[in-house]
Structure 1
């Protein structure tokens, strides 16, 4: 069964057939696909940024790794840079208050 994964780097859809290999790359931006930021368990708000407590520590969340718990993330929320979105919202909020 084919599913779709949203690339963490370019936010484009990547077709996934079965297992994602460690050397697989996004066809649009050539970023690694088997990375923490494309994983269902990735969560920047928890310890080690991973909800899988048995997973080994991975320092570079945007580089290919050997994690056996990797599960392709469903949906497209991972491609959004939340820090940039918050910064833009704050700038928009205070932009009109200059005196």
Structure 2
């Protein structure tokens, strides 16, 4: 019997000697399996878009001219990184007076083109709209 307070036989007292657990040698882990699995996240890209129509623009350090699609002036407050309608004079920079109108060309010294970081959504293969339908129809061919 064991050295219990009450000398009753229990499920832990089997009469046999307890077996020692055999430890298996640790399997060698690969470095990339440790921790959380990496996600298959899409890549990102930095783009500039027209504030009026949303057309992709070439990333130029100092844009001169107009949007090729709608003719919107690129050196304007609406296209600027510091444009904020809720702040004083609708600009995050300390300008002495309000620049008006916001969608016309101006000579603001704080101007920098607004850039956005977007997810890369283009697929690696050629995704045509008929591919899904063709795959569905191939299921029922004999």
TM-score normalised by the chain length of structure 1: 0.65
The two structures have a TM-score, normalised by structure 2, of 0.47
| Residue of 84, 90, 114 corresponding to 1:49 | 90
Is residue 136 of structure 2 the alignment partner of residue 60 of structure 1?
A: no
Q: Distance in 1 between matches of 2:70 and 2:109?
A: 24
1:14 to 57, 68, 93: 57
From the CA coordinates, give the structure whose radius of gyration is larger: 2
Q: Is the 8 A contact 2:73 2:103 kept in 1?
A: yes
State the Cα deviation string for residues 14-68 of structure 1 (Å, max 9, x = none). 11222123xx100111110001011110000101000001364211000110111
Find the counterpart in structure 1 of residue 111 from structure 2.
70
The structure with higher relative contact order (CA 8 Å, sep 6+) is 1
4+ residue segments displaced more than 6 Å: none
Is this contact kept in 2: 1:55–1:67, CA < 8 A? no
Alignment pair present for 1:39 and 2:87 = no
Gaps of 5+ in 1: 77-99
Show structure 2 runs of 5+ residues with no match: 1-45, 118-142
